[in-house]
Chains A and B, each alone.
Chain A
């Protein structure tokens, strides 16, 4: 930031004249210009700006961008600085709550490692440039490009940003929009689309009395975690629902399950079919409505067959089936560990078959409706796009590629060869906040304004039957004068392409403002244009409703492979956590210091091993193991507990970033995505994240220790957390619960 170019008053406004911020920053104040020299006029907060009351925090509504869920937030602004985020109670997504990633959004905003200036590649290094140079270069490179040679890779995107982005793609004539998210529900969405006719059905946890989840970490990473957390609270109040979680390694949801069942990755489908068989044969439920082939598939999964295929006790399988029947309505979900296989689609479909047999469709699985404005509707990312993009890059199909909101160089397994094939793309533009792995390979880096500095509109991908557009508004002045909002950049790029439709908009704000002027009158409740806009900003969102749809169960045929690869080999589980997410938040010190929910590890990567496996390998907690797959190897310290299947080694995502990304993520841990085999789910093309066979051996110990919080793994007989059986709870608190 160049101090000579900004006015002192602006500077003070940014810095906040008062409180700790001012004192700490005080020593950095430029001393070249002093009051005595009469060069500047200092206006203190004794004469504050309009709308600023010194010492009083004001809450402004906005939208969280830490994950694609799109939670509404309130930001507390005091003396021009945003200090604290809370959930927006009006938002149907998070109902006033916020997760740790959302809280830590402030640290992404105030991060010391943010990119403050555009950069252009000169030779092997990126050097600072001006926006004019960057825009000029982009205009030059895209001037005569043919549509098929251009691609844009983004994370999940929605709202007016999506509109502008599509407009830009159209202006080039390209249809190459790759939407990539490592943590996704793509297979679930596809199965829902195929079997129910709606890719994003509404899950009524509040109505369900029991829940069987095949690796769906709905409290952590599945769908809309905060939304499901609020629903989970309802699920757990009387009459209290029963949660059964089946997964290879314990997730946050698994840690809260009444019954946690370890499964060998890939056997989830067989288990689901086995339970279906029990429901039909023992519990007297009907499977009519399912295609004959599926019916015979279910019949083939007798109890013995299922036990052989899954390794789960016969009693347990029968028990689960009985519980689901007894505690109706139920709901069966499937998530990352169920879908991450070459037959992932089948596994998820088998879970959905359970919903059909149990009669949950229409009871606990409802239609969510369709968002009214298709161009603004959320586009959810997947890993199929990553695979196909890698292939296209390797085939040298693109000359110019834009990246925004993604870090594919980090999230792509090395076996996809993406990093190498990026060299085939002559001109890469990265919209970025940080110098992450993809940004480091860019030809042009466009520094983005942070979530707290930018305008935007967002449509949450999962909404409980409503169609809310959530507003993102700046909570403070940009920290750097050289960063630009995403919308502003795309708008400028559009103008550079001589798109006359956008000439009238001075900036993205004007565009949005105009967009809200032109919203159909039925949403305005008779308010004047100005009043409506003010109301929307104050509320942070506007519900534009949904088109009602209904679910139709369709018979989908699928098979289940009996042989699931080498059953003796260990399987790597790259499990995701609410925290670092897919690794994008490893630069936030609060999240690095927040102990992992399950293992309580801080500032590091770790591998989870079952005690019996650890004994076999000969490692103790904190020892280093080498995990070798066909595509590479990583060395990581182990954490040993009984929440992981003996055939599985789980290495949660997040760490292992390149040194340039952040001072906080530097030299920390490993990226378990990097050694995955390039296997894909055969039906959807999604990366099969849970199907990489690895060899685990003891490795030499290093000086680096595994740091975990907590001196004891158990309560050593003290009554810290006491547990009572659910029937006692129902007897004492059933019915008269205090909300």
Chain B
């Protein structure tokens, strides 16, 4: 870091503070996950394993809680003290499924605590994890309220991919070794590829051009992925992406601790919004006929 860098960073920071918004960002990748559509089938999770070289740790290590599922599908049963459920003999409204990947918070709690700046915010609005820089203090994971950071407690490359399984490994991203933290990257390698292609073709990235592995494979299309800053489409003349449309429709805004919804019943919400981490993933309420 040179002095001029420091000064540049400072002025960028000042500008951001004074003017607000995300104008310094090239993109602001975000998601919208519709829990009305999510069926909890796990396709997204396995697609993530396939795309991101996630280690299979085996039963013993999974039991210890050392699984590496960047995208986990959580399943909750309705709580017994919620009105009618109290006396119910059965789970009569089914289950609640919640696919959880790194929420790519804009005020990420993991970032300030890393002693070596191995996790930081990119100009793409991503919460990046630099494996090479990580020394494994694991502070970031402790400070993640969503518990979405996974640590390489062991060395997995020998056990997880016995030959020829290792040939499936995606060469676009690394296989992490023992002692580093890892987490969902919003398929940064796919974003990279698309951005490079767009640059080579001297154009801007189009909406829908980047698909994360999970949103691509989701059987019900519950996961929408796109640029929160909007993308100008010369054909339609609209600067909205599918994701910004969803966020606008459900009246959820980035950068707010408390959403001031005009229609409070709109379904959008962010998990643990009160913690003010400003996640880039919006969930839409599950719907049930009561």
Residues of A within 8 A of B (CB): 15-16, 18-21, 24-25, 28, 55, 78-79, 81-87, 94, 96-100, 102-104, 106-107, 109-112, 219-220, 225-226, 229-230, 232-233, 236-237, 240, 242, 245, 250, 252-262, 323, 479, 578-579, 589-595, 597-598, 600, 602-604, 610, 612, 641-643, 646, 663, 668, 705, 707, 709-710, 712-726, 728-729, 731-733, 738
Contact = CB atoms under 8 A, between A and B. Distances in A.
Nearest to A55: B171
- Please indicate which of the listed interface residues A225, A593, A668 has the most CB atoms of chain B within 10 Å of its own CB: A593
A83 B193 CA distance: 16
A25 B41 contact: no
B42 A597 contact: yes
Contact of A112 (B46, B72, B165, B220): B165
- Please indicate which of the listed interface residues A97, A254, A612 has the most CB atoms of chain B within 10 Å of its own CB: A97
A597 B167 contact: no
Given A256-B94, A590-B49, A732-B263, A20 B171 contact: yes
A597 B44 CA distance: 12
Interface string B142-176: 00000000000000010011111111111100110
B67 to A, nearest CB: 7
B154 to A, nearest CB: 15
A259 B93 contact: yes
Interface string B62-81: 11000101001111111110
Contact of A255 (B97, B218, B242, B266): B97
B286 interface: yes
Interface of B: 35-37, 39-43, 45-47, 49-51, 53, 56-59, 62-63, 67, 69, 72-80, 88-98, 157, 160-171, 174-175, 213, 216-222, 242, 245-246, 249, 263, 265-267, 269, 271-272, 283, 285-290
B174 to A, nearest CB: 8
B221 A729 contact: no
Contact of B265 (A237, A714, A728): A728
Nearest to A602: B62
Contact of B222 (A233, A593, A603): A233
21 contacts: A20-B174, A21-B167, A83-B50, A83-B170, A97-B217, A97-B218, A100-B45, A236-B37, A255-B94, A259-B92, A323-B289, A590-B56, A593-B57, A602-B67, A610-B89, A642-B91, A713-B76, A719-B269, A721-B35, A722-B286, A725-B287
Nearest to A591: B46
B63 A259 contact: no
A600 B45 CA distance: 13
Nearest to A596: B42
Nearest to A82: B168
Contacts of A733: 266-267
A96 B217 CA distance: 7
- Please indicate which of the listed interface residues A100, A598, A602 has the most CB atoms of chain B within 10 Å of its own CB: A100
B91 A229 contact: no
B287 A112 contact: no
B92 A260 contact: yes
Contacts of B97: 255-256, 597, 721
A715 B219 contact: no
A738 B41 contact: no
A129 to B, nearest CB: 22
A98 B92 contact: no
B50 A723 contact: no
A193 B186 CA distance: 47
A713 B92 contact: no
Nearest to B224: A738
A86 B77 CA distance: 31
Nearest to A611: B89
A390 B18 CA distance: 79
What 10 A-B pairs come out closest when comparing CB atoms? A19-B171, A229-B219, A603-B59, A258-B289, A100-B46, A721-B96, A233-B220, A255-B95, A589-B56, A707-B63
- Please indicate which of the listed interface residues B40, B59, B246 has the most CB atoms of chain A within 10 Å of its own CB: B59
A347 B51 CA distance: 44
A732 B88 contact: no
